[in-house]
Structure 1
Amino acid sequence: MMTISPWAILAGAVAAGGLALLISELRPAPPDLGQTLDRLHRPPDPPRPNSEPEEEERWYDRLGGRALVLLGIRVPAQSLALVGREPARYMAHKLLFALVGLTLPGYLSAMVAVLGYPPPIAVPLVVSLGLAVLGWMVPDAVVQSEAKEARTEYLHGISAYLELVALERAADHGPAEAMRRAASVGRGAVFRRLQDALERAATDRVPPWEGLEALSGELGLTQLQDVADIMRLSGTDGAAVYDTLRARAKGLRDELLADDLAKAGATSEQMVAPGAALTLLMTLLIVYPAIYQMLHVL
């Protein structure tokens, strides 16, 4: 009777635990409602003193930054800006997943060899290369998925910002003041980015709509460019833009509603096949006893 080494069992348990952790990291986590509500209603953060030292850069961020410079890889800058992730961290994730994919088949092959069933050398080599390429591409898919959700959140925030700016202009505030007052109302991530862009424009002594233009180019959102163009007309030509702002906000909400309806329709179509399969299975379960009895009676 063949006995299994305790070291082989321990190694298998470690490999299984590593795979479980990797799968848990890739699986999207459910949103924390408590943290979301706290983030929406928290008071504004107090300004930090200039003398406070910056957070020390982590080692894997430094590694990712060096690899980014050495390899010369083009990163999805707009998608990373939408999700608030640094290119160095993105590159570190790519290196980590590629390394895991490269070493995992060799590790599992060694464990199988300990049990007395050594696989051919070509098998773990080919699988390692395939998993390394797959792991290299996983962060791209994750970033694009997160950026798509973030883009929708930004569009909702821009729609609300348009309405607030229109109300501030109706209250007879100037264009620059209306933009700053409207941005200071919100506490979400979108409004914080708007506040930073307007503060940066004020520091550079340029009109606030130029700050929105820069943010639009950074995030790849043409809707912010529309806001900047409308407010430029109000600031330079003195045009009454209340109706224009409300109409643009309504158009943006209609676009978001159309996207939601399209997603709902696609989801409904995807549920047709599982529903039909379930109906067929239930029909078979109900009809089978009767057919069985009929065949055995005959």
Structure 2
Amino acid sequence: MSWLILAGGVLGLGLALLFSQLRAAPPDLGNVLERMQSKPGVEQLSGADPLLDRLGVPLLTLPGLRIPHQQLALTGRTPSRFMATKALCALIGLAVPPYLELLAVLFGVHITVLLSLGAGLVLGAVMWFLPDWSLKGQAAEARTEYLHAISAYLELVAMERAADHGPAESLRRAATVGRSPAFLQFAVAMESAALDRQPPWVGLARLGQRLGLTALTDLADIMQVSGADGASIYTALRARAHNLRSELLADDQARAAVESERMVIPGTVLVTLMTVLIAYPAVAQMFSGGL
């Protein structure tokens, strides 16, 4: 019985590690700066990397593997940790059917090995793609948060320009106002560009391309024009911020409409059940009395 308790503890520990890695976490600025200095898809291993990062590095070379770099960058996760999470999910999927078979044998129920093996392969394949589905939803939420942060950042940069600060100084001063992960990413991107002896809008453009955020690259283009030609870009920044807020509002309204349509189905089912429960006694008595 002790080995059964040990097996249950190992399974519980694996499930706890799985759910801890599927949960969204704020980006690690050290990993962000390291990835900005390295080539996409190539990850340098340092002594401070977590265990999952170390375990996932060999999995990055699997043939036919497609790593969603933009979604991982939006959520602040490394490709190696993502691959380690996928492997852990697959192993749990492979281990659950034999574990249930063992429990069934202890209770006197015999299950064929072929059925257990097939169920393990199917569940392992499904669990392999579970981190992809989870990452997609987390990346969509992170993208929305980034867009809201960019909208506020555009307004702050416009106010800094209206205060007669230079383009580069306006970008840096505006980034120090916010304390959210998005504003910290802006500051890190501009600091990385400064280390390369480049203007801050170059760092923002790189960050926008890596995250797939067109609004951030538009901001970099506007500030580049201002820095090169000395043009007044206060109106352009306010207009871009207004357009971005309108896009976000339209997305929120569309999402609310979809959620409202989904709520119709539970409401309809509830009304139908209540109608059946209320009408059944009268209908049953009518038919029994007629008979």
Please give the range of the TM-score, normalised by the shorter of the 2 chains.
Answer: 0.7 to 0.9
Deviation at 1:14, TM superposition (A): 2.7
2:37 is aligned to: none
Q: How does 1:158-173 map to 2 (within 5 A)?
A: 158-173=150-165
User: C-alpha displacement at 1:229, in angstroms?
Assistant: 0.8
Q: Secondary structure at the match of 2:111?
A: coil
Q: Shift in Å at residue 221 of structure 1?
A: 0.8
CA–CA distance in structure 1, aligned partners of residues 216 and 181 of structure 2 = 15
Tell me how far 1:163 sits from its aligned partner: 0.4
- State the percentage of identical aligned residues: 50
TM-score of the superposition, structure 2-length normalised?
0.84
- Which of 117, 120, 124 does residue 125 from structure 1 map onto? 117
Query: For residue 40 of structure 1, what is the aligned residue in structure 2?
Result: none
Structure 1 residue 203 and structure 2 residue 203: aligned? no
Q: Which residue of 1 aligns with 2:173?
A: 181
Matching residue of 1:224: 216
Match of 2:12 in 1: 18
Matched, 1:109 2:101: yes
Conservation of the 8 A alpha-carbon contact between 1:8 and 1:115: no
C-alpha distance in 2 between matches for 1:93 and 1:249: 37
- Going from structure 1 to structure 2, the CA distance change for 1:255 and 1:8 (only over 3 Å counts) comes to same
* Matched-pair contact (CA < 8 Å) for 2:86–2:129: yes
Can you give the 5+ residue segments of structure 2 that lack an aligned partner in the other structure? 27-45
Q: Counterparts of 2:179 and 2:118 in 1: how far apart (Å)?
A: 50
**2:264 alignment counterpart:** 272
Tell me the secondary structure at the aligned position of residue 186 of structure 1: coil
CA contact (8 A) 2:56 2:81 kept: yes
Alignment of 1:1-298 (within 5 A): 7=1, 14=8, 18=12, 21=15, 25=19, 56-69=48-61, 73-298=65-290
Question: What are structure 1's unaligned runs of at least 5 residues?
Answer: 1-6, 37-53
Q: Give the letter for the 1:175 counterpart.
A: P
Instruction: Output the TM-score relative to the length of structure 1.
Output: 0.82
One-letter amino acid matched to 1:166: A
Check 1:74–1:293 CA distance in 2 against 1; reply closer, same or farther (3 A cut).
closer
Alignment CA distance shift 1:26-1:141 (3 Å) = farther
Distance 1:13 1:234, change over 3 A: same
The 1:262–1:183 alpha-carbon spacing in structure 2 relative to 1, beyond 3 Å, is same
Question: RMSD of aligned C-alpha atoms?
Answer: 3.0
